[in-house]
Amino acid sequence: MEKKRGKIDTGLGVKAKDQRPIKDKQFQNKCAKNIIKYLILNNYTHPISLSICLAGDTSLFRDVTDFLLKKLDPFLGFNSEKELQDLLKSLGYPYPLHSQYFSGATNYWPYLLATMDWLVKLLKGFEKSKDFDICDEYFFTAYDAFMTSKPVEPIREKFNKELDVWIDKNKKNCEEVRKQIKSLKEIKRELKKDKISIVNADLIKVEQELKTQLGQFYEIEERCKIFEAKYSDFQNLIEKYLPQGIPTAEAIQVMWEDYLIAESDTPSVIKKTEEIIEKNRKMQQFVDGDEEATADYKRDLIEMQEEIEDIFRENEHLQEEIKNVEETLHSFRLKIELIKFFEKEAEKSEEKIEENNKVE
């Protein structure tokens, strides 16, 4: 008959459920930083860093855990995983520590990391409890005296005196803290009052600035209305003197060239006319003096007179064109002056707006 095999203890029978966010990266980083800080402050002899602590190494876990346990008690230690499980259980570790955690798999490393962090917190708790060790001293001394049949009363009196000193000291500390709290409250009230007055002053200043800016805005608005009215008058003048619209620069250039040509041709036409008149006068004298002048001369004379009349008509036409061009140029000069005036007004308005924007 085969012998029934015993159940292998894997540590999985622990019913307590771990509520910590073991898989959370932030939680792991926090645990690693707490462990590293404590190890460095307590002269851990092996190299340690965040990358090493997060890498996941069971040998690192054994070294660090052994170091932390010996900080609790120099005689604490373990030789196997089972001993470590029992030791942590005796220290009150509230979470399961399964055998698989020691397999070296990276997915189990966060559990070992959290275990080391728990040991660090346990050590910090013990270190804080040492601040008030007169009770421990009294209990151990009194117990030793009681067990050896020695008088306990002197030890109790000594403890009471030390306790009174400790209480007086803490009363003074508490009184100092109360005074500081009261002083801070008064400072807070004063600061609150000052802050309110400062805020009110700032509000008044802002209100004045807004009123100033509002007045400047109204002034600019009024100037814009005046400018719009002047611009409307300017448009009416353009429609009156230039019904076909303002000519382009090319058209003005052509008109100016025509004017110069006409002006340059006028003296030559006048001179030619005078020559023809003089020639006609001489011819008339010749005809009047010679009654036997032929009909050819008379025809020539008539043609010359007609030519003179054509020249006069052409001259009159040129004079009219010159006059029209001069009037047009005069109107152009007037419009240019008006345009310059309105451009200056627009520049002044823009400068005023820019100044107001800078003030804002």
| Angle in degrees, CA 198, 203, 209, rounded to 5 | 125
d(CA 184, CA 243): 83
Q: Which residues contact 70 (CB under 8 A, 6 or more apart)?
A: 76, 77
d(CA 327, CA 242): 12
Tens digit of pLDDT at every position of the chain (360 positions): 444 444 444 444 444 577 888 889 999 999 999 999 999 988 888 888 888 888 878 889 999 999 998 888 888 888 888 888 888 888 888 888 888 888 888 888 999 999 999 999 988 877 765 545 666 677 777 777 777 888 888 888 887 888 788 788 777 777 887 888 888 888 777 777 666 666 667 777 777 777 777 777 777 777 777 766 666 666 666 666 666 665 666 666 677 677 667 666 666 767 777 777 777 676 666 656 555 555 666 676 777 777 777 777 777 777 777 777 777 777 777 767 777 777 777 777 777 777 766 665
Q: Residue 310: what residue type? A: D
Burial class (CB in 10 A: 0-12, 13-18, 19+), 328: middle
Q: Are 75 and 87 in contact (CB under 8 A)?
A: no
d(CA 29, CA 54): 8
Whole-number pLDDT of residue 35? 92
Burial class (CB in 10 A: 0-12, 13-18, 19+), 344: exposed
d(CA 282, CA 288): 10
How many CA within 13 A on the CB side of residue 135? Answer: 6
Q: Are 50 and 25 in contact (CB under 8 A)?
A: no
Q: Are 22 and 111 in contact (CB under 8 A)?
A: yes
Percent of residues in the chain assigned helix, strand, coil, to nearest 5: 80, 0, 20
Tokens, residue 78: 């373990």
Dihedral angle computed from the Cα positions of residues 341, 344, 346 and 352, in that order, rounded to the nearest 10 degrees:
-140
Nearest to 345 by CA among 226, 241, 208: 226
* Count of Cβ atoms closer than 10 Å to residue 281 Cβ: 10
d(CA 231, CA 239): 12
Cα–chain center distance at 220: 32
Whole-number pLDDT of residue 77? 83
Nearest to 117 by CA among 12, 21, 17: 21
Under DSSP, the state recorded for 332 is: H
Whole-number pLDDT of residue 5? 45
d(CA 111, CA 97): 8
Q: Are 141 and 151 in contact (CB under 8 A)?
A: no
| Angle at which helices 295-359 and 249-289 cross, to 10° | 160
